[in-house]
Chain A
Amino acid sequence: MQIARVVGNVVSTIKSSGLNARKLMIIQSLDDHLQATGRPHVAIDAAGAGIGELVIWCRGKEASFPFEGSEVPTDCTIIGIIDSDEHVSSLTRRAVSGGSEGGEG
């Protein structure tokens, strides 16, 4: 899984029926400093995420498991919402911000 920021959503009317009633969002994966890494993905939302939120996404075949029973074509699904940017604790981020937990900058 990876951390990402929800940066937009996708409206698509002509699509696979398995995508009906599913929210498609644009997400940008982040590294442990919450800086962008890799290219943005289109993800199906399975956690009720909104634009700007920090989320957890799952890749591969496992990404379709939250939709058990219905055939949803996805390899990228948002499965959790991180409580806030401060709820990502990392040795590397504390080292950068002078050791205070979740300091600014």
Chain B
Amino acid sequence: MILARVLGNVVATQKNSRYEGARIMLVQPVGPDGVARGASMLALDSVDSGEGDLVVVIQEGWSASTAATGKAGAAIDSAIIGVVDRIDEESAS
């Protein structure tokens, strides 16, 4: 999984039926330090995350589809599966 910042969402009326009722969020992958890493991407929300939240995103379709829609086997490759409260990091000594 990766850490990401929720930037917002996108609205697509015409879409694959398995996306019905799902929120398509726009997220920016970040490191534990909160610094952006790599390109922004889309992920289905399964935990009612909101703009600005630091979240955990899974990038494997079977789990993403199950988490976001309750069933596997959809054209979904990423989903938000957790909102981060805090990160405790050991400083590399």
Q: Chain A interface (Cβ within 8 Å of chain B)?
A: 1-3, 29, 31-32, 37-38, 46-48, 56, 58-63, 65-66, 68, 77, 79-83, 87-93
- Cβ-defined contact, A65 with B73, below 8 A: yes
- Cβ-defined contact, B13 with A83, below 8 A: yes
Over the window 54-80 of chain B, the binary record of Cβ atoms lying under 8 Å from chain A Cβ atoms (1 yes, 0 no) is 000000011011000000011111100
- Cβ-defined contact, A56 with B39, below 8 A: no
Q: State in angstroms the CA–CA spacing of A77 and B64 once bound together.
A: 17
Kindly name the residue among A46, A77, A91, A93 whose own CB sees the greatest number of chain B CB atoms within 10 A: A91
Q: Chain B interface (Cβ within 8 Å of chain A)?
A: 7-16, 18-19, 24, 26, 28, 39-43, 51-52, 61-62, 64-65, 73-78
- Cβ-defined contact, B39 with A38, below 8 A: yes
Question: Shortest 3 CB-CB distances between A and B: which pairs?
Answer: A80-B15, A62-B61, A89-B8
Across chains A and B, the number of contacting residue pairs, with CB separation under 8 Å, is: 102
Residues of B within 8 A of A37 (CB): 39
- Cβ-defined contact, A90 with B7, below 8 A: yes
